[in-house]
């Protein structure tokens, strides 16, 4: 039998508590470009940083938040919430948590897998929300506090154009059309 769901919840909460005060080793390794899974393209790890950003947001802001909202508003029966959780967390070919593990975050894979293992122990919406909230808070903490995504670089490279800059670009359209 799987561990008790409260043990899993508490383990995730403890990991979050630690992540609030110090950079997790896995976050440090990704930040430094140490990718033990072999993932990456052409000798770089930009794709890992990009997907890490996308999947922590997906799993935290979208999946767990929506599941908790559905439970709180009682929009789905508990047994259906458990089925939807298994689909979102991945019990078939695609597992976002496993993908996060390959991106350098084995804790996300471990926690999401453990949540799936203990779902059948959950008997109330309140308990479901408690379990999901622990993961939600953990993944959002590592995303917001230890984000390896270079925000300043992205903002500099993809800055919105001002009306004056657009006018300057329009000025050069005839030149581009000649080539």
Domain ranges in the chain are 5-150
pLDDT of 92 > 70? The answer is no
Please state the pTM of the whole predicted model.
0.79
**What is the percentage of the chain residues whose pLDDT exceeds 70?**
93
Token representation of residue 102? 């390959």
Q: How confident is the model at residue 93 (pLDDT cuts 50, 70, 90)?
A: low
pLDDT for position 2: 60
More confident residue, 31 or 149: 31
More confident residue, 75 or 153: 75
**Is the separation of the CB atoms in 77 and 29 below 8 Å?**
no
Rounded-to-10 torsion of CA 12, 101, 132, 119? -100
Nearest alpha-carbon partner for 135 in 79, 88, 75 = 88
- What confidence tens digit (pLDDT) does each residue in 14-62 have? 999 999 999 999 888 888 888 787 777 777 777 778 788 888 888 888 8
| Mean pLDDT, the chain, integer | 85
Give the lowest-confidence range in 94-103, 130-139, 156-165, 169-178: 94-103
pLDDT of 153 > 90? The answer is no
Gap between the Cα atoms of 27 and 30, Å rounded: 5
Helix or strand run (H / E) with residue 166? helix 163-171
Nearest alpha-carbon partner for 6 in 100, 115, 85, 95 = 115
> In a 10 Å sphere around its CB, with 0-12 CB exposed, 13-18 middle and 19+ buried, how is residue 177 labelled?
exposed
What average pLDDT does the segment 154-166 reach? 81
Q: How confident is the model at residue 126 (pLDDT cuts 50, 70, 90)?
A: very high
C-beta neighbour count of 54 within 10 angstroms:
12
Residue ranges in 22-161 assigned as alpha helix (H): 25-31, 46-57, 65-72, 78-89, 96-102, 106-118, 125-145, 151-157
Residue 176's contacts (CB-CB under 8 Å, 6 or more residues apart) are none
């Amino acid at each position: 039998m799987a561990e008790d769901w409260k043990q899993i919840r508490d383990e995730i909460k403890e990991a979050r508590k630690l992540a609030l005060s110090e950079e997790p080793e896995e976050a440090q390794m990704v930040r430094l470009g140490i990718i033990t899974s072999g993932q990456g393209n052409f000798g770089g790890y930009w794709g890992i940083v990009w997907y890490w950003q996308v999947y922590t947001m997906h799993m935290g802001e979208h999946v767990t938040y929506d599941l908790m909202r559905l439970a709180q508003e009682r929009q789905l029966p508990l047994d259906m919430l458990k089925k939807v959780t298994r689909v979102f967390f991945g019990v078939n070919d695609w597992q976002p948590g496993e993908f996060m593990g390959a991106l350098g975050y084995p804790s996300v894979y471990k926690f999401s897998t453990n949540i799936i293992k203990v779902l059948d122990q959950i008997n109330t919406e309140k308990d479901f929300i408690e379990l999901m909230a622990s993961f939600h808070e953990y993944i959002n903490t590592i995303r917001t506090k230890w984000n390896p995504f270079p925000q300043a670089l992205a903002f500099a490279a993809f800055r919105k154009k001002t009306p004056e800059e657009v006018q300057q670009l329009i000025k050069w359209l005839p030149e581009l059309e000649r080539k």
